[in-house]
Amino acid sequence: MTVRQKIAAFIAGHTSESSRLEYSDIAMLREALSDFNAQQRREGWAPTGEEATALSRSFIQGVANDARWMYWKNPLIHRGVNLQADYVFGQGFTLSSPDADAQKVIESFMDDVRNRGVVTDIEALIRREIELQISGQLFFALYSDADTGALDIRVFDANTVEDIYRNPEDQEEPWFYKRVVQTERLNYATGKIEVVSVTQFHPDIFYRPADGERPETIGGHAVIWDAPIFHVKPGALLGMKWALCEFFSTLAWGKGYTGFLNDRATVAKALSRFSMKFTDSAKDKVAKSVSTITNALAARVAQGRNRGGETAGEAPSEAGNAAVLGAGRDLQAVNVSGATIQADEGRRFALQVFAGFGWPEQFFGDGSNGNHATAKTMDRPSELKVARRQRLWIRIFTTLATYALIKAAEAPSNRFTAQVEYDGATPKITRDGAAIPLDVAFPDILEHDLAQTVSAIDTASKHLPFPEVTARLLLSALKVENADELIAKADWKALDKKSAEKAPKTEDDSQKEAK
């Protein structure tokens, strides 16, 4: 039963004079209407009511559910999503600080087994990236230990966040997130699992009201001030509470291309049903000829079954058989030329999918439309696409690491000594008035020509006065893992002296020697 039919049946059941709509019935009807609007929009129809000007939560959830199924079952969608996740995190990343004490806090945060399963392990990050593309957003809940300040990051299912309460004077400033989750609890008395609905409110990570303006409850539900939410929604436009699935534009075309291929397979199967055409000049002999051929085919099938043919119930496919026909009879293969649908005719459908993802066609397995020369020019947009995404994750890592340092600095254990300052809602970690920097780095997106890179460093070294700089550039280009350790052990004073002796003499040096 469709949503429209459910609504019609529901209304029909409450139209008698003796019936009265209760509050729960009205709520159910509103939810059904919202689902109906979401279904209509996904099918290309214009929405009604508030849906005409804003994306409702139910619509965004419906699109995310469709996108999740398409990711699982559609190869093009699956490939497009995984491409971005692999390019962004396939080579890993580094998060560090030159401050030794801050580095210890960061390493503890990164190595925590719970955080590794959520946001610091590469496999976990790839899952987060995929989920961000599918649902359009991530909700990081930042729990922390009251004594040590150790950060425990969790990711909430986007479907459990029912609403976002914002500043009435600024729609871009979220205050609270309403989360409703169905939890399963074991009843020890009955031994049965009971489902309990729990509603909680979480503040936004950047919401800092005055102490007297921090409510303990909202609508009778607890506010979890010790677990703020960091909401990431890169695709949201101005005024949007929620972001939409990032590849929403590809879903319809992905389904269309799948439908095209299914139709082509159906036609091919129909055309292969008859492989041979038999004709007989004598009309009165046609029925007899058909009966003869039918009996012969039945005998061949039975023979194949008894002899164990290639496929059960079929005659063995023996090549080189001869067809001996009488006068006026003819046996020909059915001519299907021109009746088939070429697979390449659906390429335009697939191109819409590629365009929606922003990847070139050859990235999806068809290398016939690209070569080495065109790949270099086409890789530049792809490189910028990945670089933009990595900048988003740099902001995410910087925010999470900054919050980890804040909680460590505020903890009673005093394991990290620093000052926390706020520029409006933006926190800053300082020591002795100087900000403690954080560095998030990704490896190069593209593999550059190593010989050209080394040659460029060698040319530049002739103009660099410090061999340490040249060594660092070379070790980085060669991807030596213990580069810092090797540089620290080198005798740079001796190397500086040798470099000065080998350096070409300048005109001033020649004049000094002449004097």
Per-residue pLDDT tens over the stretch 260-308: 888 888 887 777 777 677 676 666 666 666 677 677 767 766 666 665 5
The pLDDT of residue 262 is 87
Q: What are the extents of the domains in the chain?
A: 1-53, 56-246+390-441, 276-333, 450-514
**φ, ψ (nearest 5 deg) of residue 184:** -100, 130
The pLDDT of residue 393 is 96
- H-type alpha helices, 362-413: 372-410
Element (H, E) at 109: helix 100-111
Distance, first Cα to last Cα, the chain: 103
Is residue 89 within 8 A of residue 125, CB to CB? The reply is yes
Structure tokens at 434: 């100087």
Alpha carbon distance 156, 147 (integer Å): 24
Please list the ranges in the chain whose pLDDT falls under 50.
15-23, 44, 46, 50-53, 312-313, 374-375, 377
10 Å Cβ neighbour count for 511?
9
Which residues have CB under 8 Å from 97's CB, separation 6+?
Answer: 103, 106, 401, 436, 437, 438, 439
127: left (phi over 0), alpha (psi -120 to 50) or beta: alpha
Is residue 67 within 8 A of residue 35, CB to CB? The reply is no
Q: Is 352 helix (H, G, I), strand (E, B) or coil?
A: helix
pTM check: above 0.95: no
Question: Is residue 42 exposed (0-12), middle (13-18) or buried (19+ Cβ within 10 Å)?
Answer: middle
Is residue 247 within 8 A of residue 135, CB to CB? The reply is no
The pLDDT of residue 369 is 61
10 Å Cβ neighbour count for 255?
16
The pLDDT of residue 118 is 92
10 Å Cβ neighbour count for 389?
20
The pLDDT of residue 31 is 59
Q: Is 486 helix (H, G, I), strand (E, B) or coil?
A: helix
Closest to 70 in 3D by CA, of 496, 357, 404, 371: 357
Closest to 179 in 3D by CA, of 196, 202, 195: 202
Alpha carbon distance 218, 195 (integer Å): 23
Closest to 167 in 3D by CA, of 203, 132, 194, 134: 203
Closest to 139 in 3D by CA, of 230, 226, 76, 68: 230
HSE at residue 132, side-chain half, CA atoms within 13 A, is: 25
Structure tokens at 114: 């719970």
Instruction: Tell me the per-residue pLDDT of 52-67, one tens digit each, with 9 for 90 and over.
Output: 446 788 889 999 999 9
